[in-house]
Amino acid sequence: MLLICLTIILILIGTFKSQTNYVKAIGGISARDVVLMEEKTGRVLYGKNIHQSEKIASITKIMTAILAIESGKMKKTVTVSWNAVRTEGSSIYLKTGQKIKLEDLVYGLMLRSGNDAANAIAEAVGGSVEGFVYLMNEKAKEIGMKDTYFSNPSGLDEKGKEHYSSAYDMALLTRYAMHNPIYQKIAGTKIYRSDSWDYSWKNKNKLLTSMYKFSTGGKTGFTKKAGRTLVSTASKNNMNLIVVTLNAPSDWQDHMQLFEYGFENYPQTKVLKMGGIKEVKHKIYKNHVFIKNNFEYPLSNEEEKEVTILYQMKKPTKDNPQDGQIVGKAIIKLEGKEIGYRNIFYSNSSVKILSKEIIEQTKQLFLHFIGEKFNG
């Protein structure tokens, strides 16, 4: 299909909320492997050994939790097996034959890191631990976790069995899970009390319960072989961040430092605003094309100047497009690499082209034509 292309290079000096003019070096991070990811776009803002496969301990349980939630059986009552009760390691002290809702098991899994809860969930959702492990690895493939293999639902180190993931893969998994409101609620719960017992569970995630006011959830982990592992999430100024650390002796401090680095240096920036497009001037499209949604991306001050927008329009015919028809794309690039796009729609009615706010904000606007020259 023939295209008409128009490149708009936006130099946005002073356009966005002022930030400090330096990028703070990150020193003193204790983790062997680490990733800082912006949740909405999946952009990695900082990383070290992000694709290195490692033992991950109980952050495995993020996968166990999301599979339980997606099973649709959260209100189902589960009968706890002897096999689940005898699971070694951290426990919520289930008893053989005990009847408990799957939902309560997931809270025990995420807040108290119960290995017995993990196996009880696996048997209820997968039919057996082995069946559930198959589901875990299939879900990992679906999400795009390429450096990962699960052999159990808890993260225990088992002799002769491979069980590993990477910082990047666990960030991908967390990004996926955080799109589920039930997971968000459970991971972000500080204290949980069930109708089934008289005591409360307090979340082991100290960032959430006391240390970091912007924390929204996460999962702790530890084994002797894996060391301290931690996944956590935080939100500030309409921005959601994910941090994963593997083998991190000072994981709480690592996470707080990385969150502050991300919030300070990569604000969520409105690159493209919804509404009419002034730059498209062809007589059929002029004042009749628009974008439905804003495009936002985490950018440093320096990167704002490296953003370009390429408008690719379908070559118009003699007849006007139909109302609501997609007639092109706005492709957003950072330093020449595509970071996203928005569809361009046609409206039979004249559309508002550019708000006063954007006119005042934009200091310089350069037009460069590619392909057929537009009329008007």
Q: Is 101 a catalytic residue?
A: no
Do 123 and 82 touch, CB atoms closer than 8 A? Answer: no
Q: Which residues, listed in sequence order, are joined to residue 94 by a DSSP beta bridge?
A: none
Q: Judging by beta carbons within 10 Å of its beta carbon (0-12, 13-18, 19+), is residue 265 exposed, middle or buried?
A: buried
Of 53, 58, 81, 90, catalytic: 58
Q: How many CB atoms lie within 10 A of CB 99?
A: 9
Of 53, 81, 90, 113, catalytic: 113
Q: Is 58 a catalytic residue?
A: yes
Of 55, 61, 204, 329, catalytic: 61
Q: Is 210 a catalytic residue?
A: no
Give the E-state strand segments of the chain in sequence order: 3-11, 33-38, 44-48, 77-79, 99-101, 191-193, 200-202, 215-223, 227-236, 239-246, 268-272, 275-276, 289-291, 295-298, 307-314, 326-334, 337-346, 364-370
Any idea which residues carry the catalytic annotation?
A: 58, 61, 113
